[in-house]
Structure 1
Amino acid sequence: MNGRTNRLSEPAGIDVLFVVLPGSLLLDIAGPAEAFRVANQHLQSHGRPARFRLRFAGPAPEACSSVGLTLGGLEPLPQTVEGRTWCVLVGLQGTLAARQSCHWLQARDWLSRWLAPVLADANTGCKLVTVCAGTLLAADAGLLARRRCTTHHEVLAALQALAPEAEVVGNRVFVEDGPVASSAGITSGIDLALHLIAAEAGDAAAAAVAQTMVVYLRRGPQDPELSPLLTHRHHLHPAVHRVQDAVCADPAAHWNVETMAQAAHVTPRHLHRLFCLHAGIAPLAYLQRIRVERARQALTQGASVGQAAEAAGFGSDLALRRAWKTHAQGTPREARAA
């Protein structure tokens, strides 16, 4: 457990299937799709296989988007949904009026017939992902009964009317309930994509995607606080990011201010200044937080306190307990029992 990825443990790839209708909001498609593309690029640059296969399908071979750009070469809606598939529904220009169109009805019927059964089977690994008012199409297809969900604030009432048995949640960036993940307005689709990337490929990968796309990592208010692997990353300084990437990749390495400065190609004093200015934390304090988080992950996976301490780079059980009290406000239950 040294923080490096075991290629043999990589899960199967995922088909990310965007359902594209006439009037689809282009940013609803392009934002999440670009996040998944950059995630693949990051994974491959670190010797890991690309995880996300982007696909675009619809009831017609082409569709004019919300900004007038025609999207062509769309696949037909597949007659089977197999393997790990994430079906992405996006908002439409004039969503309420679009509900009467033949394309909406075709997509709704396809969702009811082909996607609903695989969502009901927890073993398939399939997800429904909605961006903005794409949640209304899911509701019209009967996919949201007894699910928590959200959508753009302007159509929350319409969503509740379409899915009376759903728990419609307002004022959220996104909501995740089992295999259904829904986001609010437009750019929140990028936030949801980053969350899904973190869960699938790791926090470090999501942080790298956010850095490349120059966006903040955030979660909906209903979610727990950001992982320590994601905090202190809301900056654009390349040297600080290099150190953070290296520490997250191998927290058990022999890190000190000198070795961290070598990774950044700056002096130790300058590194301290850069960290405090851009990350809002001192280098060694950041290292300690990452090590505590790695130890916590190891403990939740069944490791002993000694094993967790070793995996995270602590010299002893006692050093882990002391760090935990400082950064996690209390000794872990597993450590107390040891």
Structure 2
Amino acid sequence: MKNIYFLIVPQTHPLDSLGPAQLFFEAKENGANLNLHFVSSTLDNELDSSLGLGFSKLIPYREFELEKDDVIVIPGIDFSLLNDSNFKKGNQLFYHWLNTQYNNGATLVSICTGAFILADAGLLKGKKATTHWKVFAEFEEKFPETELLKNRLFVENERIYTSAGMLSGIDLCLYLVEKEYGIKFAIEVAKEVVMYFRRGESDPQLSIFLQYRNHLDTRIHTVQDFIANNLARPFIIEDLADKVYMSARNLTRQFKKTTGITIGDYLTKLRVEQSVHLLAEGYTLEYATIECGLKSTNQLRSLLKKFKGVIPTDLNAIN
């Protein structure tokens, strides 16, 4: 990577640009030879964000001609604008420029609904992509020639990267830093921005700590909170039932009815995800085993092998 261009579009979600910008800035501060540029997708040097916060001192896109190894970061914008036919019509010259830069060898990175901009520009035809989970249906209807991967943090194909949201966009940018400068350098950058977990392309959009929570049963939420906060402690179903003044049998039945998953399977998934995060951060198998409430490292290895298809590929080799 040489130059990173942070594209500012009308109604940009500010953190979609500023989050990745901060990450690349920290990479530069740590010694990466990078130049950061803030570029307007229009001919204006001032644009308003979706929050009303203004961006100024922008350089119009047509003043740049990118080269191989340059990167363009494209943020998500207000969805109402993406559905505006006049917005697409008014962007034709910009879309042509975007295609030219890609053909010149530049890498394109979209954050959240920024995937719609790439697709509108014709850059995702016949490719795989992801975007924010709230707009899956709209994306599939609007761009049937693009294969939408719905449970991915980010998707890589042919120098075009799409990500699910703002935080996964930062994960993606850290992934690019790691590819360019190595894992040790990427870990140092992650520490600078206090990114505790490093997530990869194969990780799901929604963490298990967030999944199975889309319900209104406060008792089941209480049980889920207790399990997540006490993975290292031994407990039995009766302990959980006592917390919410239910019988063990009733809790077991109600938990499955409410969440769609058994308590045992939920606990297992929590343990797998927590262990993967700890191992990715450099902790030992022994430490991860203890923190996840498992009896032995062999038990942890067995769990990781069982979930081999859903954990980051760089951890699949653990044996």
TM-score relative to the length of structure 1: 0.58
Choose which of 129, 135, 159 in structure 1 pairs with 2:109.
Answer: 129
CA distance in structure 2 between the aligned counterparts of 1:105 and 1:54, rounded to whole angstroms:
29
Matching residue's letter, 1:87: I
2:102: which partner in 1?
A: 119
Q: Is the 8 A contact 1:142 1:163 kept in 2?
A: no
Q: Is the 8 A contact 1:135 1:150 kept in 2?
A: yes
Q: Alpha-carbon deviations, 1:214-262, whole Å to 9, x = none?
A: 1220113269xxxxxx96464xxxxxx9xx9xxxxxxxxxxxxxxxxxx
2:201: which partner in 1?
A: 220
Choose which of 75, 90, 103 in structure 2 pairs with 1:90.
Answer: 75
Choose which of 99, 104, 113 in structure 1 pairs with 2:84.
Answer: 99
CA distance in structure 2 between the aligned counterparts of 1:83 and 1:177, rounded to whole angstroms:
16
Equivalent runs, 1:40-119 vs 2, <5 Å: 40-42=28-30, 44=31, 50-58=32-40, 59=42, 60-79=44-63, 80-96=65-81, 99-102=84-87, 105-111=89-95, 113-119=96-102
Counterparts in 2 of 1:172 and 1:205: CA distance versus 1, 3 Å:
same
Counterparts in 2 of 1:108 and 1:217: CA distance versus 1, 3 Å:
farther
Q: Is the 8 A contact 2:82 2:116 kept in 1?
A: no
How far did residue 161 of structure 1 move? 2.9
Tell me whether 1:171 sits opposite 2:146 in the alignment.
no
Match of 1:88, SS state, is: strand
Matching residue's letter, 1:52: L
Tell me whether 1:38 sits opposite 2:26 in the alignment.
yes
Matching residue's letter, 2:170: I
CA distance in structure 2 between the aligned counterparts of 1:168 and 1:52, rounded to whole angstroms:
32
CA distance in structure 1 between the aligned counterparts of 2:83 and 2:146, rounded to whole angstroms:
22
Choose which of 209, 212, 215 in structure 1 pairs with 2:189.
Answer: 209
Any stretches of 5+ residues in structure 2 without a counterpart?
205-276, 292-316
Q: Is the 8 A contact 1:198 1:205 kept in 2?
A: yes
CA distance in structure 2 between the aligned counterparts of 1:87 and 1:97, rounded to whole angstroms:
19
1:183: which partner in 2?
A: 163
Match of 2:36, SS state, is: strand
How far did residue 158 of structure 1 move? 2.1
CA distance in structure 1 between the aligned counterparts of 2:184 and 2:85, rounded to whole angstroms:
43
Tell me whether 1:140 sits opposite 2:120 in the alignment.
yes
CA distance in structure 1 between the aligned counterparts of 2:140 and 2:83, rounded to whole angstroms:
18
Choose which of 25, 33, 46 in structure 1 pairs with 2:13.
Answer: 25
State percent identity of aligned pairs.
Answer: 30
Q: Is the 8 A contact 2:12 2:49 kept in 1?
A: yes
Match of 2:27, SS state, is: helix
How far did residue 140 of structure 1 move? 0.6
1:194: which partner in 2?
A: 174
How far did residue 66 of structure 1 move? 2.1
Q: Is the 8 A contact 2:153 2:203 kept in 1?
A: no
Q: Is the 8 A contact 1:89 1:129 kept in 2?
A: yes
CA distance in structure 2 between the aligned counterparts of 1:97 and 1:144, rounded to whole angstroms:
16
Q: Alpha-carbon deviations, 1:72-101, whole Å to 9, x = none?
A: 001011353334321111111234456345
TM-score relative to the length of structure 2: 0.61
How far did residue 24 of structure 1 move? 0.5
Q: Is the 8 A contact 2:79 2:113 kept in 1?
A: no
How far did residue 41 of structure 1 move? 1.2
Counterparts in 2 of 1:38 and 1:106: CA distance versus 1, 3 Å:
farther
Equivalent runs, 1:238-277 vs 2, <5 Å: 276=287
2:141: which partner in 1?
A: 161
How far did residue 26 of structure 1 move? 0.7
How far did residue 328 of structure 1 move? 5.4
Match of 2:166, SS state, is: coil
Q: Alpha-carbon deviations, 1:305-334, whole Å to 9, x = none?
A: xxxxxxxxxxxxxxxxxxxxxx755xxxxx
Q: Is the 8 A contact 2:76 2:111 kept in 1?
A: yes
2:240: which partner in 1?
A: none
Q: Is the 8 A contact 2:7 2:17 kept in 1?
A: no
CA distance in structure 1 between the aligned counterparts of 2:9 and 2:150, rounded to whole angstroms:
25
Q: Alpha-carbon deviations, 1:25-76, whole Å to 9, x = none?
A: 011011111111111111x2xxxxx332211111121111122211100101
Match of 1:187, SS state, is: helix
